[in-house]
Amino acid sequence: MTNKEFISKLQTVLNNYKTVYMWGVFGSPVTESIVFAKAKQYPSWYTAQKQASLRKLIGQGYFAFDCVNLIKGILWGWNGDASKTNGGAIYTSNGVPDISANGMLTKLTNVSTDFSKIEVGEAVWMDGHIGVYIGNGKVIECTPAWKNCVQLTACLNIGSISGLNGRRWTKHGKLPYLKYETDKPIESKLSEWAKPGYDFVTQNDISDGTRPKDPVTREEVWSMLQRYSVIQK
């Protein structure tokens, strides 16, 4: 999987699925059995109040993740299949181990505290928490903070973004399970009439803008339309 494909899958989760934060879960639909099992496994986190809130989501089409399990779930093949226990993800598949956010840090390559040259698809880390940088100063992360779900936030190491919550991360690095493709500069090749549209779709994460002459699939068109509809709300 390339970094671009990985980001596309994360954006699909962000834009097309209802999600909620659940400690120790990697994409399971919210059901009574998963709430019961996780409450038994992690009783100190799953307080009576949290269990009650989660039970209200049963049957409402929600999928659950925590921060590192969002990353692992995608790498394990999560595809939003509500008929499967883990939404289609296969535990520890594709050579990706079951490790914590801090454990994932030990697997990252080219780890740095300098965010000036961060690449899209890199993991961003702080003690006990992890997300993924998707470009334009933005991160996709699953956190109980703010919206309590998979959400788009600002990487404050790069700068704040109007309308987005944000946090300052400690380190970033490349996930060893991805193939990183370097963006090719294309803005200089754009016609003047195309530049406003290019700026709009890239700044709003409708498209990464790296394939201006390539054909797109129906799935990609649908995903871009979904992202555009969110902006218009």
Do 109 and 190 belong to one domain?
no
Do 77 and 14 belong to one domain?
yes
pLDDT of amino acid 55:
99
Q: How far is CA 213 from the centre of its chain?
A: 27
Do 158 and 55 belong to one domain?
yes
pLDDT of amino acid 187:
47
Do 25 and 63 belong to one domain?
yes
Which ranges of the chain have pLDDT less than 50? 186-188
Task: Output phi, psi for 179, to 5 deg.
Answer: -100, 120
CATH code at position 97: 3.90.1720.10
Do 177 and 190 belong to one domain?
no
CB-based contact 189:210 (threshold 8 Å): no
Do 75 and 141 belong to one domain?
yes
Do 112 and 217 belong to one domain?
no
Query: Among candidates 44, 25, 64, which has minimal Cα distance to 150?
Result: 64
Do 103 and 166 belong to one domain?
yes
Cβ neighbors of 193 (< 8 A, separation 6 or more) are none
Do 49 and 155 belong to one domain?
yes
Residue 117 CB-half CA count within 13 A: 7
CB-based contact 154:137 (threshold 8 Å): yes
- Pairwise CA distance, residues 201 & 222, whole Å: 14
pLDDT of amino acid 194:
79
Structure tokens at 30: 């919210």
Question: Which domain, by its residues, includes 214?
Answer: 186-232
Q: How many domains does the chain have?
A: 2
Do 150 and 201 belong to one domain?
no
Task: Output phi, psi for 149, to 5 deg.
Answer: -165, -175
Q: Which of 183, 204, 221 is the last residue of a domain?
A: 183
pLDDT of amino acid 91:
98
Do 74 and 90 belong to one domain?
yes
Do 216 and 136 belong to one domain?
no
- Pairwise CA distance, residues 38 & 35, whole Å: 5
